[in-house]
Structure 1
Amino acid sequence: METVIITGGTGLVGTALTRLLLERGYKVIILSRYPEKGNNNGVTYAHWNIDTQSIDKEAIQQADYIVHLAGANVGEKRWTAARKQEIVDSRTKSSELIYTALKTIPNKVKKVISSSATGYYGEFNDHIFTETDPPGNDYLAHTTVAWEQSISKVKELDKQLVIFRTGIILSREGGALKEFYQPLRFGFATILGSGEQIIPWIHIHDIVRLYFNAIVNDKLEGTYNAVAPNPVTNRELILTMARVAKGRSFMTTYVPGFALKLALGEMSVEVLKSVKASAAKIQQTGFQFSYPTIGEAMEQLFSQ
């Protein structure tokens, strides 16, 4: 039985990935600041603390793989200077702790699989971003570059590394879709800004399968865009969700860009940003998406 450590294991992706790994016979260790509060369910909880740079040595010694999902939620709070620093630190300091642990603790870890984000890219009209494109020049791009650089040091230790630049994850359990759906509960399909901005997205089932594929496929290495092969505009995403969930029982409304800027501050830049990221590289490895189109994704999500 192989063992997988997951950081950020109680989040949206971590919870779903843990479930799949247990079903497939893996042992799962979730790193937590408060492991004594963990609900077992076949999972082992082990201590780590990025502020004190401490980690459970036995957990590292047991692990065959590390899935690194930890990081403060980018959209949870307004971007004050303190919050922006917290977002960066939660990613880079956790990566540094993993690197230091793998460097100083005898271990058998074969591969580290790390989350990243399509926020890495800038915004260029009609450009399809591939993994070789340079980063953008905004806050999230700088954050994502620092994030990837901090975890890339594990390659110095002869470990394989996979980085998934992830788009918006669609799930009924949380994340962006839950926020998109809130106005629809009251009959409003709410489009943000012009609605023409391109949204890189992926179904929760497919992102979990990508992480599992990175574990079982020892040839998979490097950086990949974790996005569905058919990006859509914000307008198309919202209206597809509304039609699938409500039929014709909704009214289309728009939130203008200036209102988003007032409500969200600097974070509105990301809400209104248009990023078309290519899924070609991961598809060329043989990976097939279960939900390649927004229609298929929404049908599955709202048929539950």
Structure 2
Amino acid sequence: MATVLITGGTGLIGNRLTGLLIEKGYRVIILTRNKKERNKNDTSNPHYALWNPAKAAIDIAAVQEADYIINLAGAGIADKRWTAKRKTVIAGSRIQSGQLIVKALKENANKVKAVINASAMGWYGDDSLLKKETQAFTENMPAAPGFLGETCKAWEESIEPVTSIGKRLVIIRTGLALSAGGGALKAFIRPVRFGIAAILGSGRQMQSWIHIDDICRIYIHAIENEQLHGVYNAVAPKPVDNKTLVIDLAKKMKGSFYIAVYVPSFILKWILGEMSAELLKGSTLNADKIRATGFQFLFPSIEAALNDLV
């Protein structure tokens, strides 16, 4: 039974991924800052081990037990308003995590075969950066200027040195993860419960999304297929614009008993500040590379995803 070490294992994706890994027979160790010292004789699954990237502290024994490492760690992008301090936390939590994993693997004997590292579609920026003949962002395109593009670039660079010590590295640039357990879908659902389909800005901005089970299956696919290495976009093959997503959700929940309301961009900016730009921009990602590895989406369309989640 292979052992998978997960950072960020208590988050939205980490929770679901842990459950799926255990169902498939994997042993899981979750690195966390919020648990007591792990009992070495504890046979529960998942196990918990201590780490603190800000203090460069990590349970080396847990690293040495691992066959694979999945690094999901990072402060929530949308949890708080983007002050200068918060932006430092968002970037630093990701960079420090990658650097600590690299340090632990370089300085200690281990049996880790592969590291699968999270990244985000924020790498690409807005669809306006696409050339006229290009319909979607592919993995070989450069990082966009601005906070998220620069953060994603530094995030990926922080983990890159594991390749120099012979570890297979897979980087997963994740789209908008849709889950019944929280995240973006919960925010979309909230006004719909009151019969309001809240369309953001013009509603024409494209959103590259992915069902929670499909993103978790991509991580497992990266573990189990040695031919995977480098960067992959983790998005469903059929992106939708914001209006389509919100209206489809409203129809699913309320039938015809809802009112479509456009939320002006200036109101979003007033409420959210700089972060509002991320809700108003479109980002269309190409999913061909991950599909070419043999991965098949369970939920390729927004209709299929909402049928399952709502």
Distance across 1 between alignment mates of 2:34 and 2:274: 32
How far residue 222 of structure 1 moved from its aligned partner, in angstroms, is 1.0
Match for residue 247 of structure 1 among 255, 261, 274: 255
- Quote the residue 1:8 is aligned against: 8
Q: Provide Cα deviations, 1:205-231, integer angstroms capped at 9, x if missing partner.
A: 100100111111111111000000000
Q: Give the 3-state SS of the residue equivalent to 1:277 in structure 2.
A: coil
- Quote the residue 1:276 is aligned against: 284
Q: Provide Cα deviations, 1:120-171, integer angstroms capped at 9, x if missing partner.
A: 0022346410001111111111111110111111111110000010000000
Q: Give the 3-state SS of the residue equivalent to 2:54 in structure 1.
A: coil
1:57 and 2:65 are equivalent in the alignment: no
Distance across 1 between alignment mates of 2:234 and 2:19: 20
How far residue 41 of structure 1 moved from its aligned partner, in angstroms, is 5.9
Q: Please show how residues 148-297 of structure 1 align to structure 2 within 5 Å.
A: 148-297=156-305
1:20 and 2:12 are equivalent in the alignment: no
Q: TM-score, normalised by structure 1?
A: 0.97
- Quote the residue 1:75 is aligned against: 78
Distance change in 2, residues 1:41/1:255 (3 Å): farther
CA contact (8 A) 2:37 2:50 kept: no
How far residue 245 of structure 1 moved from its aligned partner, in angstroms, is 1.6
CA contact (8 A) 2:238 2:301 kept: yes
1:118 and 2:126 are equivalent in the alignment: no
1:44 and 2:47 are equivalent in the alignment: yes
Give the AA of the match of 1:258: F
Distance change in 2, residues 1:194/1:111 (3 Å): same
CA contact (8 A) 2:9 2:72 kept: yes
Distance change in 2, residues 1:41/1:197 (3 Å): farther
How far residue 37 of structure 1 moved from its aligned partner, in angstroms, is 8.7
Give the AA of the match of 1:8: G
Distance across 1 between alignment mates of 2:160 and 2:248: 38
Runs (5+) with no aligned partner, structure 2 = none
How far residue 34 of structure 1 moved from its aligned partner, in angstroms, is 2.5
Q: Provide Cα deviations, 1:67-95, integer angstroms capped at 9, x if missing partner.
A: 00000000000000000000000000010
Distance change in 2, residues 1:226/1:40 (3 Å): farther
Q: Provide Cα deviations, 1:181-204, integer angstroms capped at 9, x if missing partner.
A: 110111101000000000010000
Q: Give the 3-state SS of the residue equivalent to 1:190 in structure 2.
A: strand
How far residue 241 of structure 1 moved from its aligned partner, in angstroms, is 0.8
CA contact (8 A) 2:16 2:216 kept: yes
Give the AA of the match of 2:187: E
Give the AA of the match of 2:209: W
